[in-house]
Amino acid sequence: MATRTPLIAGNWKLHKDCAESVAFASELKAAIPADIDVDVMVAPTFTALHPVCEVVKGSPIAVGAQDMFWEAKGAWTGEISAEMIKSCGCTHVIIGHSERRQFFGETDDTVNAKLKAALAAGLVPVVCIGETDEERQAGKTFEVLETQVKNGFQGMAASELTTVVLAYEPVWAIGTGNTATPEMVQEVHAFLRKLVADSLQKELANGMRILYGGSVKSGNIAELMALEDVDGALVGGASLETESFSGIVRYKR
Q: Look up 169 and say whether it is catalytic.
A: yes
Residue 116: pLDDT over 90: yes
Mean pLDDT of the region 35-60: 97
Name the percent of the chain lying above pLDDT 70: 98
Mean pLDDT of the region 171-189: 86
In a domain, 172, yes or no: yes
CA atoms of 248 and 253, how far apart (whole Å): 10
CA atoms of 239 and 119, how far apart (whole Å): 26
- Residue 244 burial (CB count, 10 A): 18
CATH number at residue 219: 3.20.20.70
- Per the CB < 8 A criterion, the answer to whether 43 and 245 are in contact is no
Query: Is 218 labeled as ligand-binding?
Result: no
Query: Is 237 labeled as ligand-binding?
Result: yes
Mean pLDDT of the region 112-138: 96
The mean of the pLDDT values for the chain is: 95
Query: Is 12 labeled as ligand-binding?
Result: yes
| pLDDT at res. 253 | 60
The partner residues of 234 in beta bridges, in order of sequence, read 9
In a domain, 2, yes or no: no
CA atoms of 199 and 236, how far apart (whole Å): 30
DSSP-derived 3-state class of residue 142: helix
Burial 8-45 (b: 16+ CB within 10 A, else e): bbbbbbeebeeeebbebbebbbeebeeebebbbbbbbb
| pLDDT at res. 243 | 97
In a domain, 222, yes or no: yes
Query: Is 76 labeled as ligand-binding?
Result: no
Q: Look up 15 and say whether it is catalytic.
A: no
CA atoms of 78 and 176, how far apart (whole Å): 30
- Per the CB < 8 A criterion, the answer to whether 194 and 153 are in contact is no
| pLDDT at res. 178 | 73
- Per the CB < 8 A criterion, the answer to whether 240 and 213 are in contact is no
CA atoms of 164 and 200, how far apart (whole Å): 13
State how far the alpha carbon of 197 is from the alpha carbons of 115, 158, 188, 201, in Å.
19, 10, 14, 5
> Which tens digits make up the pLDDT trace of 82-107?
999 999 999 999 999 999 999 999 99
> Which tens digits make up the pLDDT trace of 19-32?
999 999 999 999 99
CA neighbor of 222 nearest in space, from 33, 34, 38: 38
In a domain, 229, yes or no: yes
CA neighbor of 240 nearest in space, from 39, 15, 9, 2: 15
Mean pLDDT of the region 206-214: 96
Domains held by the chain: number: 1
| pLDDT at res. 1 | 46
Q: Which of 92, 97, 106, 131 is catalytic?
A: 97
CA atoms of 5 and 69, how far apart (whole Å): 28
Q: Which of 99, 131, 169, 189 is catalytic?
A: 169
Query: Is 11 labeled as ligand-binding?
Result: yes
CA atoms of 249 and 241, how far apart (whole Å): 12
| pLDDT at res. 2 | 60
Query: Is 13 labeled as ligand-binding?
Result: yes
- Per the CB < 8 A criterion, the answer to whether 115 and 92 are in contact is no
Record the pTM: 0.96
Residue 199: pLDDT over 80: yes
Residue 168: pLDDT over 60: yes
Mean pLDDT of the region 8-14: 98
In a domain, 1, yes or no: no
CA atoms of 22 and 19, how far apart (whole Å): 5
Determine the structural domain holding residue 94 and report its residue range: 7-249
Query: Is 70 labeled as ligand-binding?
Result: no
